[in-house]
Amino acid sequence: MAVIRDVMAPFELLQPTSAADAQRLLEQHGADAWAMAGGLDSFDWLKDRIKKPKVVVDLSGISELKGVRETGDGIEIGAMTTLTQVVNHPIVREKYSLLSQGAELAASPQIRNQGTLGGNVSQDARCWYYRAGWPCYRAGGNICYADTPTGRNREHAILHAERCVAVNPSDSAPALIALDAKFVIRTPKGERVVDAEDYFIGPEIDITRLHILKPGDLLTAIRIPASWAGAQFYFEKVRDRNVWDFALLNVASAMVVSGGRIERMRIAVNGAAARPLRLKAVEDAVRGKPPSAETGAMAGRLAVEGAVPLQFNAYKIPLMRNLVKRAIGGVEEAKWAPIGE
């Protein structure tokens, strides 16, 4: 069990001013190093003395990692661009508003002012057993405290769980998957560009990480192609309270409709598994169909196929079914009948 003290364990602080230097330092110090972006997730771990890196590589002085740039085919967002800058950027708002909607629903204004897009997609699981330093599977142990008859698992996974049932907490991640974004990573072997959906991994690949970054890797940018610019977007996040709170589930979709039929669509949900899930079967099933409540209902049923609830999170199955339905068929008006009628 974690012992929480006021003072962080000491570490060497390195403050590079270029991405090349930052990656070299991360490579040089390997598993002893910790990349620090906005620090919102990082400081939780360090202050609780649960993670004790020997070296912290502070990325905040690297201007080439900040800002939104137009490219020949869309935009490129530096990994150190804050969520607030992403939300408010005029091109993001005009053409890729799905991302501004998702990012704007993350955390609180203060956290979005400091937290970065790169940090938001690379943040760790929020399972309280793990965050409190319990020696579970994800922490290198051989038990899951959440997946027991009395474990607190209301917020946990309904799909693709394997030993660990924690979920990915990012609100920007499903929006980036729906926008077909590419993640640019500087690795010891050179630059690597991966599809957004391939940046995230589940416990079947590595139970100790939610993403593909290995020691020595630096996420430098996220590219969004123009192919979905101005599409019909839908983002919905369901949380326990409408101030800052992590998602119980969220859904993000981009849809192009022509002649009353869905020409193409990308859709992803987060909060259902250890990685944000692109719903490829749904995308295929709705192609050529009208964006109606019936199509949405069919898609919702398909989306939750194979879902397995834990003791306290069965509500997530109808919730996910309905979020997918609403993303496709729209939100039905609530029908109120006066009391007594």
Question: Which residues contact ligand FAD by CB under 6 A?
Answer: 34-42, 59, 79, 106-107, 111, 115-116, 118-120, 122-124, 169-171, 213, 218-219, 244-246
How does DSSP assign 36-79, residue by residue?
ESS-HHHHHHHHTTS---SEEEE-TT-GGGSSEEEETTEEEEET
Residue number, 24 or 49, with CB nearest to ligand SF4? 49
Q: By CB under 6 A, tell whether 200 contacts ligand SF4.
A: no
Determine if 145 is a binding residue for ligand SF4 (CB under 6 A): yes
In the complex with ligand SF4, which residue's Cβ is closer, 156 or 266? 156
Residue 123 CB, nearest approach to ligand FAD (Å): 4
The C-alpha angle with vertex 304 and arms to 302 and 308, in degrees rounded to 5, equals 145
* Residue 7 DSSP one-character state: S
Partner in contact with 283, chosen from ligand FAD, ligand SF4, none, beta carbon below 5 to 8 Å by kind: none
Binding at 254: pick from ligand SF4, ligand FAD, none (beta carbon under 5-8 Å per type): none
- Count of residues making up the chain: 341
125 binds, among ligand SF4, ligand FAD, none (CB under 5 to 8 A by kind): ligand SF4
Which one of ligand FAD, ligand SF4, none interacts with residue 127, CB within 5 to 8 A by kind? ligand SF4
Determine the Cα–Cα distance for residues 51 and 42; give it in Å rounded to an integer: 9
Q: For Cα atoms 185, 191, 193, give the angle at the middle one, nearest 5 degrees.
A: 60
Q: Does 138 bind ligand SF4 (CB under 6 A)?
A: yes
* Residue nearer to ligand SF4 on the CB measure, 94 or 204: 204
Nearest of 119, 138, 104 to residue 65 by alpha carbon: 119
Q: Taking the complex as a whole, how short is the minimal distance between the CB of residue 263 and ligand SF4, in angstroms?
A: 39
Helix axes 293-303, 316-329, angle to 10 degrees: 140
62 contributes a contact to ligand SF4 by CB under 6 A: no
Gyration radius (Cα) of the chain, Å:
20
Q: Residue 32 burial by CB count (10 A; 0-12/13-18/19+): exposed, middle or buried? A: middle
Residue partners of 290: CB distance under 8 A and separation at least 6: 260, 261, 262
The rounded distance, in Å, linking the Cα atoms of 238 and 228 is: 24
Least Å distance, CB 260 to ligand FAD, is 35
The backbone torsions φ and ψ at residue 150, rounded to the nearest 5 degrees and listed phi first, read -115, 5
Contact call for residue 164 and ligand SF4 (CB under 6 A): yes
Q: For 110, phi and psi rounded to 5 degrees? A: -60, -40
Is 142 or 258 the residue whose CB approaches ligand SF4 more closely?
A: 142
Nearer to ligand FAD, 213 or 262 (CB): 213
- Nearest distance, CB of residue 168 and ligand SF4, angstroms: 12
- Site for ligand SF4 contains 137 (CB under 6 A): yes
| Binding flag, residue 246, ligand SF4 (CB under 6 A) | no
The interface partner of residue 130, options being ligand FAD, ligand SF4, none and the CB cut-off 5 to 8 Å by kind, is: ligand SF4
Query: What distance in Å separates the CA atoms of residue 261 and residue 304, rounded to the nearest whole number?
Result: 23
Q: Does 310 bind ligand SF4 (CB under 6 A)?
A: no
Asked if 183 interacts with ligand SF4 (CB under 6 A), we say no
Q: Which stretch binds ligand SF4 (CB under 6 A): 4-12, 54-62, 127-135, 321-329?
A: 127-135
* Size of the residue set binding ligand SF4 (CB under 6 A): 15
Give whole-number Cα distances, 132 to 4, 49, 152, 266, in Å: 9, 10, 13, 36
Nearest-10 Cα torsion for 24, 26, 29, 32: 180
For residues 36 and 146, which CB has a smaller minimum distance to ligand SF4 in the complex? 146
CA–CA separation, 227 and 243 (whole Å): 33
Q: Which residues bind ligand SF4 (CB under 6 A)?
A: 125, 127, 129-130, 136-138, 144-147, 156, 164-166
